[in-house]
Every structure is written in structure tokens, then in C-alpha cells.
Chains A and B, each alone.
Chain A
């Protein structure tokens, strides 16, 4: 569609105008290229949200992507276009100023801001009221914008603008790429106005003329004003700025005299390597030299120094930190202490982290204790680089299938019930299944052949992946030299005190903005809590980085799958495989972390590995050349790096090419790309003389598994944490359990399970007691004193008040000095926390009910010590009262109270199962502490039963599940079926099951 008229569109909005535009930036760019528009300015509402994607797409399509934004000034839209880098900088600052200091989503712009930040910007307006101010603030840098959408009233406005004698140019005020996008725009308009399509009336645009138009079409519209068109083209040529040069620089690290970044990094690494690499081998030195050379070549030394600086800050502040992800492949990262895994000893693949071919910034994730310590690091970065020098990256929330259907159906006027019904069966995976969708419509009582239904479904498809709003990324932080608000607009996040940039992590990567991911990890927080506890109470300083990795007690514990609370190794599936694997050294833990993942499970790698491990199957290799790569995993590929190395060794790929291969097999893999990859692989293998049978095997392994394989570097980082948590469990169990309980929610199990596990380990667990408990759990006499945080409904402030004023003389003293209400006293009394005052549970309840009620000043000192007329609780009642008030008990297990009854039913305790031969039919009952129905288990349900003696697994076949679905939700179950046994692992494959009646509230667990 060639056009001879010169015209550039200077006013386009994308879907990143959030409800003000209907097309993705890429669609606008592609359409602009089709129409042979030389340049298009994206002016999204109040921001540059879509600019990076538009820039990238335009560059690929050969269109000049100009940068602008549309603001509301005096209630009228004003567009600002960046003429130069200075102008862009001002635009970013202007947008930032208008947004910061206000609630999220609210912006305000006035002429004062425009005066301050107007330099380098060109203004477009259709408001006559703007023109007088623009004349003085933007001399020679403004135009009145003429638009022709074939509307009577608009033409009158055009004529009014022309009569004012100001410079004019033509735009089309584009809101969507093609006329067919108008329904999407109308639907967004309805959402904006919170109305339905039938009621929107004249709030919808009169026609669908706001699409991208080529020069010829615009020339027809402006046949009487050709100058306006020429002016648009001329201005587009004058606007020099595109996102080619953002002016972004990563912060420079302050260097000691006589050093440049490379030399300083080198000196640091050389200084630390002998301490970190034990032994300091020539291989390690060679690897370091290789990496330093690449880092120098890519100019990344400053980046590593900044990260090292963060690590040093954490070290000074005693904040645990560990780098994870592909950074663990780097010897330099290890030497600097950024990561904790020795990549040389582990033979990890550096190219997975950094390669010359890709020329990308490396991706380093830092795991930090979740909560306050992570926030401390974030605040340190704000302090170091300034409030405007760093910010969190945004997370663009896009329309997923369910949400899209909800909004679209609402717009199309369907009732709330019907909307619910339509949305009910839509899952995120069911994005494009036409048949499934029609079925869904039928289930909602709609006729898919009916016009409105068809239009609703068509609109729903168009809504998918449109941006909906901006959130905050979980941990990505962008740092810059100087001010970040000169590079990208900043705005407040929903979380108080947080600032986010307007771009997401992919935008940052595309435009070369460097981010550091600061991720919170519950287990790190547990370590952080445990180490001082151990030091204070046990007089031992534990250095997690220097733990001996050959502790037989730890491997013994892992071998008997006694791993409740152990990082990454505590799930039912992990426990079941631990007893098959029997880890004996650290690398086994690395394998263990990686093997219970969708990749190895669906790829059929698990059973061959364990068979080889137990010597039941010979270790073989697809080709002898792969032996060095697969030897450690007994010929079975388990890690992503192994597959990359296989491609490198067998097909001659370079490290960078292998990494490219992994990306080609990413989530959006296409058949053509896969085919091309396989062709390259086969060509490479043929060149290396590998036979066709081996080629088939290798290709299949690589192409089917590369996506889902777990990175070895990642597994190694996790294995360190798993080992450390196992170490604490074995050697400092009281502190370990107390910390886990304090950091809950985390991990796999309910606190009750942790408490029962602690008791099985012989760790005394003391109940909540107002005289001795704090808000958090405490180390007490080699045991754990439960904290008041577990009392349901008991406010943190109240717990702190009790902790601050303890000990107390009686209930009235407690009520008065801790300022507790009747409700709070009742919670303490019901949970047995007043036992320390010498009261039975019912005495406490009786006193609490009175002591907590407001008394006038006359009676403020009054104490009622009359005896309680209430009957006392028996032991089982007390256990149930514990569950009701805190969900856990430090006393006798519930099943112990029921043991006599269960014996009558023929049930054995779990420990008694040990003495029953495998294969015997048994009955066993337990509290259900975990239920799982993994998608990989072909409909089988796995439950973990706990009684007063231990844990056992129950396997529920699909038929039994279907017939006893309701009974399975009971908190206590009795199973009957044949017993399977492995050392430390008991399971019953249920042939029958019954719920065991329990009064009161017993903790039960949903499907994980």
C-alpha cells in the first residue's frame, strides 16, 4: 500500500495507555510498516509504558519510533514529543514529578511543571485554551493538532483552531492499528466508564476512524490543507530522539587510585580466590583468567564490583545472602562471594552465565532472608544510589483468559451469574481452544451460534495478553549512574515507600538497563533467626559457608527420609525418592534437588537413574563422547547444563550457540525453530561421525528435555541451603524448629507437623505461657517454647505487650498491665497460656471472661478469686482446645487419645507397621498432614498420615478417590490396604478408607 504523500503519524496511543488504546505496540509498528509510514510517535497516556516494545518492533519493521506522552493539563489532553535526549530526559522527569508523591494511578500536571521541564519537548494540542500558554512556554515548539474523523463537531473545532492563526499539523489521534480493532477499543471504553456496551451510548466513539492511515488516505482527508500534512512529516524529521540512546549508564564503582574497573576486579578476585577455592588449583586459576578476559571484553567489571559491594554490605550487616541462578556457574562470582558453589569443582558451564556471542548483561539473582532483612538491602540501595537513582522494575499484568472473559462478558451485558459460569471452566492453559470455549459457553446456557455470543468470544480472544495494569516485580531493582528519572519515568508502587519504573524486566533487558534481583527466601530468614539463637543459648558459632560437607549424621538422616523442615527435600515425593537414592555426598544432594521436577519425571529419567544408582541397571551412554558429561549422573541427563554440553560435544556447538539452543526451546517454541535446531544438531553430529542411532537418541534427549531440565548451578545453590538446613536439624534442632516456626508460612508443612516432628526428635516443645512466651517461639532448655504468634486472632501488638510486661501475678494483673481485652484474655486462656498463673484451662476461661470486661475506676483494683463453677477439661478436650486456639499442640497427639478406639477398629500405630511384613494388609489411622494430586501421577492421590509415633504415606488409587472424595477431606483418616516398606519409608496403598470422627477444630491441609 504505497503512498506518495509524505506523512508521519505523531499521535498514536497503544494498549499501554491502559483503557485508552486497543492495540499492542507491536501491532501499531507492523501496521505502520505496511502503510509505509516513515515514523510514528507513540504518545501513551501519562507514560512511556509501551515505548520499549514499540521501539523494538519499529526497529525490526523499519519505522522510526518517536517518543512522546499524552498528559492531562487543565482537564484537556496535551501531547509532548521528545525532540532530543534532553527533551526525553525532561519528559521522564515531568512524568515522574506528576506521579510521585501521589497515590498509585493518580497523576497531576500543571503549567509550572511544563515550564520547568519543557526544554527539548514539542507540544501538540487541540485545546484552544492551551495555546496562549504554549505560545510563551514552547515558542516555536508547538502545533495545534487537526484531526478529521468525519465528525461534524470535530470539523467545527478544526475551523476554530485554524481561525486562531497558530501553526497547525495533521494527526489522526490513533487509538488502534486497524478499523477492525474498534470493538476492542469500545469494550475498553466501557470498562473505563464502568458500563456495558448497550448502555455506553454516545460515550463510545462515533465511528472507527482512529486507526493508522497512510499518506494517501490522510491526503484525501486534508485535501484542503496539504500544508498540515507536510508539517507533520517535517516535524517528524526534526524529532531526533529515539530510544537508541537513552543515556543510561550502570553506576560506576568508586575505585581506589591507580585502578580501572578491570584491574580492581582482577585484584579483588586474585586476593580472594586462594581463600575461596580450596585447593587453589591451576584449573580454577585458568577459569578465573578466562572469565576475567570475557568480563573485560564485555565491559562488565563495574557490574561485578557493584554486586560485590552489595554482598559486602550484607556481610557487614550480617545479612545472609547467596547468589543463585546461572551466576553460580561463574568462578569470579564464587571468588567474590556472590555465590557459594565452587563452579570449578562442580564443573559448571560458564557460558550458561555469560558468553561473548550473546553480548548480554548477565542475570544475577540474590537470595536474601524474606522480610525485614531483604528490605534493609533495598533501602541500602536507595540510600546509596539515591531515591531517584534506583527503583524496582514493573511487572505488566496482562489479560489472562479468565480475567479477559470476566471483563468482556461484563461489557457485553451478561449477568454476574453467567459471567461466573463462563469464567468457571477457563484455565490459563485453555487459552485458545475453540472447542473448549464453545463448550464453556454452552455450559453457561449460551448458544454459541448466537450473534452476541460469537462476538463475545471473538472479543475475548482479542483481549488476551492486552496489558491491564502495572504491578511491581518481586525483586528486580534497576540501578543507574545519576538519576534514574532521567532515563525512565518513575511512579509510586502500591506498597508504601516503593518506587517502580514504567518498564518491566524484558523492556529493561531490551534497552540495556541493568537490574539486580533481590529475592526473599523463607529458609534464609530461618537461618538468620537460628544462628544468633544457637550462639546465645548453645555458645556455638555456626558458619554456614564453612560447614563440613561430609557429615555422616546428615546423610543418615536423609537416607531415612527424616526430612520434615529440610529445604527442598521435605516433600512426600522427595522423601519417597530419598530412600531410593540414599545420598552419600554433597553432589547427591544436588542431584536430589533436581530430580523431583517435572522435567526428569515426565522425561522418564527418574527410574533409570535410581536403577543405575542401586546397580540394577548398567550405566550406558548414548555415545562414548558423552561419557565425561553424563558420568556423574550415571549416564542419565538430569541438568540443563548437561544437555548444552552434549550439544557442544556431540554437535560442535559453541557455548553461546548452546545457550541459544536452550532459548530456542523456551516456552514459546515453534515447530519451525525446533526443526531448524534439530537439523543443526544432526549436521553437527554427522560432522563428528556419530551414527544415526546415537543421533536419534541424542536429538531426542536434547529437544525433549532442554526446556524442563533444572539448571545444575541452581540445584547446587539450593543444595547448599538444603544441606545447611539439614545440618541445623541434626546438630541444633531446638533452634532449627524454633526458627522454622517463627518464619512460617514457609516450606511444605503446617506448624503442627513441625511441632510433632520436633517431639519425635526428642526436642521438648513447651506450650504457650504468658509467663515465658514471647510473640515468637524461643529456645528454652534445649527445646522450643511456643510463641503467641500462633494464637489465632491474637494481635501482634497484644503479644508484644504480654512479652514486655511478663511475669504477672494473676489474670487481673495480666489484663491491666498488658492492656488486654476480654477477647484477648479468652484466647490466651483457651490456648492454655494462663497455666503459668497456676490456673486450669476452665479456671482460666472463667477468670478471663471477667477480668477482661471493663471495670469502672472504683473497681479497677478489684480481683475476683472465687472458685470456678465450671467442669474441668479432660486431656482430649485440652488437645482439641489447643487445636482450636492455635492449630497445634505441645501436648499429647490427638491420635494418642484415640488409640484405644483405633485398636478396637484393628488399626496399628505407624511405628508398629515397622514390625509387620511388607505386603500384609494393614489398617492405619492418622492425622492427614498433606494431600497431593500431582498432575504427573495419573490420578493417584498421595496423603501423609501422622500419628503419635511417626509418619506414613497413603496412596489412594483414582477409583477410591472418586468414590470417597468427601471422606478424603476429613482431618483424620483410617486406611486399609497392603503395606509397602523401604527403610524409613512406610506406605499403604489404600483399598478402603474411613473418616475418623473428630469433634472440634483439627488442622487439615489442602492439596499442594
Chain B
């Protein structure tokens, strides 16, 4: 790749940088990762490093060395947002950006002019995104990466010379290759590069050979550009617990504003906003607020979130927030010239957004049965209007007819369903005269229902929800009344009240 110039952009201790994005921490701080019961230190800020800590320690070990150490877990959401911001900054400086690892990007700077000035502008862009970055430039990736920590520009043709003195541990090898080199006693890149290439290939295979070439300053593989981010995400972890709705919305507005700005720049809107809340002390609260129609308006998002969280507040104080916006291109729909007069989808969507912002997200949708023995229970699924039907002659005739047209397409009545009750919604409260021992209904009245009980089957007992605050316990009866009517009635065993909730007709 003669004449090729590669810049390497590194954010040191990327997980920590992402965690602290824009919020400098002056106390000694360690970032933890690993199994929940035994996390280890994966990144340290300067203050902690100065106190003699190193990565790989367990938290007790680290605290035994530095009792006042602040420790935070890795924040993957913050890292995701930071990565996206880093990619955007890099993309503004080079047409081809390759991702080399966590907080590590390679940029094609071939023929880009003043490399020093480019370096300054790139680090400046990163810093504005809250990410302190280091940039190195060389003829190949390995040299550029090893040059970055000191902001070195390796002159063309000097990669091999530059690499020779570098410690082997900085090669960034696979575990297997690192083990092999350490067992072989090769402690500098130069020592490895000095091995005969054929012997290296015979022992370490293609991977070893490629590494050996890189160690010799040879890098002829073109950069592979990374794809853009589909679902943008922004978030932050709070250092305090937020239990108040207003404070929560205030905290949310910062990442949401970043998100809205990014979406707008992409010419996209959001059709569903997923909010992930970290709860105190543990636990997550995830909810997705579907927007009835795409929107990139911060105000609408906040209104929806306000309703969502005020209706169903998080079960504990919030320690972190993260938002993902499901993007969609703005809808452009052409109505049929000869179709029935239908609502414009855009207008409908706008209406639904406003309506759900007014009512709350869980109060608008299509009803859906739930798995329960309580017949009155139902849930809502998102309202998705079907496309306007294809216009036919008969349809047109029907559309001029009566409301009975709604029955079109319904199945023929099934004889087996003859005894299925029709639900009375809401249930009708009854006054009931009962036989004292078994509480069998003898006479009942309420609403339009009244009469002596001619026949009664039951009680059919239903008990559900002992795990909830208000469990249900009902004794159902199927009753035939003197007027010929047949009803499904029940006695609420907790209150002793009677209701009719179905009619057999």
C-alpha cells in the first residue's frame, strides 16, 4: 500500500471516557466489569492511576489499596452513544473509516494534505463530543496505532523502524498468539519481526504471517469502511437517584435532545422510543412508547414520556437512562384518486400522536384478549388501521346501504356457540335473594334484569390473583329466570355483592 496514509484514532480507556463524557471526575475513579459477583477494574482515571492502582484488580483489592476509590460499573449504553459520536466525528474527516475495536478507528488519510492540522481538527471534534482522543499517523494500521498515544506522525517509509523498538505486549495479539510470543521470549515487535517469515507462517499460520508483516511495517490490506448506525441511542448514568418525575424528565431531556438532533440530521423521525431506566439498587425498567405516527419532536417525546411515567411510574428510583429511537423516513403517502374518502395517513398519525399524548400511551389501541379466567379483562395492542379496502362495485353499493354492512364477512352462526354468553360490560350489579346455606340465588333484580330463579347451576368457583394486592374470588351461577332469560351471574366473595356479567341469548 505504498503512499497510503492511515490515521488511527484512539480514545484511551474508552469505557471510562464514555462513562464520563462531558462530566470530568476529579476523584479517583475505577470502572468495573466482569461477573456480577466478582467484577474487576477495567479502566482507571488519572487520579486513580496516580494512586498506584492498575486494571485487573478486584474491587476489594483496589479499595484495600485506595479506600476512598469511587467505583462505577461499565455503562454499555453510554459506550454505544459515545461510539456513534466518535464514528460521526471520524466520518467528517475521512471517506473511509474502519472500526478496529472499542474506541479505536482507522481513517484513510491518503492524499489528505497537512496531517498535523488534520490531527488537531479531529481531536478537536472528538473533544467537542466529550471524548478525549489520541491520533497517530503512519503508513499502516499497526504503526499508526502505536503512534497514536504520543500523537506521532511516522514519516512515509519509516514504519518498520518505528515499530522495531515497540514492546511486543502492545501488538494487540489474539490470546493464542500472545501466549506463543511470550513463551518464545520475544518481548519487542522488532524481535518478532526479525524471525524468518516462512518459519513464522509454518508455526503461527496465516494469522501469524499477517501479524509478522505488520510488525515489519507492511500493511497492504485496504481499510474496510464501517456501516452507519441504524438505531441511534443516547443515554447516561446518573450519580444520584432520581425519584421525582420532573427531575427524571429533566435528566432525560439531555440525551433525548442529542437523539433528536441526530435524527433530524439524518432526515428521519422516530416511530417508537424505547426508554431503558436503571433502577435503584438493581433492576431495569424498559418500556417502549410507540408513537402513533413518526415524530422527531423532542416536545412530543417528552409529553409521551411524561404520561407514560406518570401513569406507570418506575418501581424504584432511577439511576440511569438510555433512549433508543426506532428511525423511519418521513411518510409520504399518495391517496387513491377513486377510493373512498379516507383519512390521510399522515393526518391520522398526527392525530393519534396528539390523542395518545393526551390520554396516555396505554389508553389508545385495539382490544386484545388476555390469558385469564376473568372475562372482563383485556389488553390493548397498538392501533394499526388496515389499508383502505379495494373499491369494487358491490362495495360501493354496500357503502350506500345501511349500517348492517358491518356484518359482511362474519361467519355463519355456529350451533356449538349457542350457549356462549354475551358479555355485559360493565357487569350489572344485582340485588339477590339467596338460599342461606349454599347462597344459591332465588330471585334477582338489577338494571333490566329481574325475576325469580327457575333453574340455577353452580356455584362455579373462580379464584385468581392471590399474588396481587386485590385478588379475585367469585362464585358463578348460570341462572334461568321466570321471564325466560338466562344469565351468567356471580357473587364477589370478598364483598358479597352480586353481578350479572353475561347473557345467554
Contacts and interface: CB of A to CB of B under 8 A. Distances in A.
Bind each other: yes
Interface of A: 149-152, 155, 182-183, 186, 197-199, 201-202, 204, 206-209, 412, 415, 417-418, 420-421, 424, 443-445, 451-452, 455, 826, 830, 842, 845-846, 849-850, 853, 864, 866, 869-873, 877, 881, 963-967, 969
A412 B205 CA distance: 53
Most buried by B among A412, A421, A445: A445
B402 interface: no
Contacts of B196: 869
5 contacts: A201-B371, A864-B202, A869-B194, A877-B185, A965-B60
B27 interface: no
A969 B202 contact: no
For the complex of A and B, 9 pairs with smallest distance between CB atoms: A201-B371, A966-B61, A849-B203, A966-B64, A150-B461, A207-B461, A417-B282, A445-B281, A207-B463
Contacts of A873: 185
B298 interface: no
A150 B459 contact: yes
Nearest to B459: A150
B283 interface: yes
B461 A209 contact: yes
A670 to B, nearest CB: 33
Contacts of B63: 966
B466 A201 contact: no
Nearest to A443: B281
B332 interface: no
A873 B284 CA distance: 52
Given A201-B370, A964-B64, A869 B195 contact: yes
B463 A208 contact: yes
Interface in B443-496: 457-464, 466-469, 475-476, 478
A842 B184 CA distance: 6
Contact of B283 (A415, A850, A871): A415
B330 interface: no
A966 B58 contact: yes
Contacts of B460: 150-152
A183 B281 contact: no
Contacts of A842: 184-185
Contacts of B37: 420, 424
Chain B CB within 10 Å — which of A182, A183, A870, A967 has the most?
A870
Nearest to A845: B183
B199 to A, nearest CB: 7
B36 interface: yes
B305 interface: no
Interface residues of B, number: 49
A208 B372 CA distance: 16
Given A182-B466, A418-B282, A963 B64 contact: yes
Given A420-B36, A842-B184, A869-B194, 11 more contacts: A415-B283, A444-B282, A445-B280, A842-B185, A845-B184, A850-B202, A853-B205, A869-B195, A871-B186, A963-B64, A967-B61
A766 to B, nearest CB: 23
A750 to B, nearest CB: 22
Nearest to A1000: B182
Contacts of B459: 150
B264 interface: no
Given A202-B373, A418-B282, A965 B461 contact: no
B247 interface: no
Contact of A966 (B60, B279, B284, B457): B60
A206 B202 contact: no
Interface in B18-60: 36-37, 57-58, 60
Given A209-B461, A967-B64, A870 B469 contact: no
A969 B57 CA distance: 11
Contacts of A197: 467
Contacts of B466: 182-183, 186, 455
Contacts of A881: 183
B180 A849 contact: yes
B203 A853 contact: yes
Contact of B185 (A208, A853, A870, A965): A870
Nearest to B478: A152
B469 A202 contact: no
Contacts of B36: 417, 420
B209 interface: no
Interface in B323-372: 370-372
B189 interface: no
A535 to B, nearest CB: 41
A888 to B, nearest CB: 18
Interface in B196-243: 196, 199, 202-205
A418 B315 CA distance: 13
A846 B180 CA distance: 10
Contacts of A444: 281-282
B39 to A, nearest CB: 13
B155 interface: no
B171 to A, nearest CB: 17
A152 B477 CA distance: 10
Interface string B236-276: 00000000000000000000000000000000000000000
B164 to A, nearest CB: 16
Contacts of A452: 467-469
Contacts of B280: 445
Contacts of A198: 467
Interface string B362-392: 0000000011110000000000000000000
A663 to B, nearest CB: 40
Contact of A207 (B61, B462, B467): B462
A858 to B, nearest CB: 15
Contacts of B169: none
B173 interface: no
A183 B180 CA distance: 59
Interface string B44-85: 000000000000011011111100000000000000000000
A199 B58 CA distance: 39
B60 A202 contact: no
A853 B202 contact: yes
Interface in B159-188: 180, 183-186
B283 A417 contact: yes
A303 B63 CA distance: 62
Nearest to B316: A445
A417 B316 CA distance: 14
A877 B183 CA distance: 10
A877 B184 CA distance: 11
A452 B199 CA distance: 67
A208 B473 CA distance: 10
Given A150-B461, A969-B61, A206 B373 contact: yes
A850 B199 CA distance: 8
A965 B467 contact: no
A846 B204 CA distance: 11
B486 to A, nearest CB: 14
B204 A849 contact: yes
A144 to B, nearest CB: 21
Given A206-B373, A966-B61, A451 B468 contact: yes
B187 to A, nearest CB: 9
A206 B185 contact: no
B61 A202 contact: no
B202 to A, nearest CB: 5
Contacts of B61: 965-967, 969
Nearest to B281: A445
A968 to B, nearest CB: 9
Nearest to B176: A823
Nearest to A420: B36
Contacts of A149: 461
Contacts of B463: 182, 206-208
Nearest to B62: A966
A459 to B, nearest CB: 9
A853 B208 CA distance: 13
Contact of A965 (B64, B316, B475): B64
Nearest to A452: B467
